[in-house]
């Protein structure tokens, strides 16, 4: 039997992040569920289910995220799966959303997801193993009214229907031939 995976999941207060944490725990995997200081107490039921709880504000500066990554990896000695799921829904017609609301939405869902990835990636590279998941949204394919801003942040994180193994032993860089082939692909 293989060893349990160690997951760190952002956005575990509700929805898909919470469900994913509970399913991973049911499989026998180890889960580090995260939340910001103002909502960490809402993760008590995940702790009762066996998750480790770690304060993580995805909007923190990169240096602070590096410290959180160090603490997270120390909990179980490694990390196998990083799930960037933190975000929130902003609703309204684009012209009704202020520039500050727009920046806050992109900062939380896109820019900070990249910083969380930057903080944890060195640990995965050192082990030459790991999976990073950036949660997108089906709304990018099937839109709903008044969710354009929210959907646009999720589409930024959607790489499409493929998986890349850049740490695999047989990985090779994309060549001109591959790029030409992809030009004719249908999505």
> pLDDT of 31-64, one tens digit each?
999 988 888 999 999 999 999 999 999 889 999 9
* CA separation for the pair 19, 17 (Å, rounded): 6
The reported pLDDT for the residue numbered 187 is 43
Confidence of residue 112 (pLDDT cuts 50, 70, 90): confident
* Residue 138 CB neighbour total at 10 angstroms: 11
Annotation marks residue 150 as catalytic? no
The candidate with the shortest Cα–Cα distance to 15, out of 173, 154, 176, 122, is: 154
Catalytic, out of 88, 106, 146, 150: 146
pLDDT in tens, 50-105: 999 999 998 899 999 999 999 999 999 999 999 998 877 788 888 999 999 989 88
Rounded Cα gap, residues 64 and 66, in angstroms: 5
Q: How far apart are CA 39 and CA 76, in angstroms?
A: 23
CATH number of the 6-183 domain: 3.40.50.720
3-state secondary structure of 35: strand
């Amino acid at each position: 039997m293989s060893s349990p995976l160690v997951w760190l999941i952002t956005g575990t207060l509700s929805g898909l992040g919470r469900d994913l944490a509970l399913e991973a725990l049911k499989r026998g995997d180890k889960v580090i569920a995260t939340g910001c200081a103002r909502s960490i107490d809402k993760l008590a039921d995940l702790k009762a289910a066996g998750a480790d709880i770690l304060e993580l504000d995805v909007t923190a500066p990169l240096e602070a995220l590096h410290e959180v990554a160090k603490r997270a990896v120390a909990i179980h000695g490694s990390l196998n799966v990083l799930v960037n799921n933190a975000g929130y829904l902003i609703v309204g017609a684009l012209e009704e959303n202020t520039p500050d609301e727009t920046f806050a939405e992109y900062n939380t869902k896109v820019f900070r997801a990249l910083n969380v990835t930057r903080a944890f990636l060195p640990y995965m590279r050192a082990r030459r193993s790991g999976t990073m998941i950036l949660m997108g949204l089906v709304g990018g394919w099937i839109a709903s009214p008044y969710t354009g801003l929210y959907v646009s942040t999720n589409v930024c994180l959607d790489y499409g229907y493929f998986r890349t193994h850049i740490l695999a032993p047989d990985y090779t860089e994309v060549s001109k031939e591959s790029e030409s082939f992809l030009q004719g692909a249908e999505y």
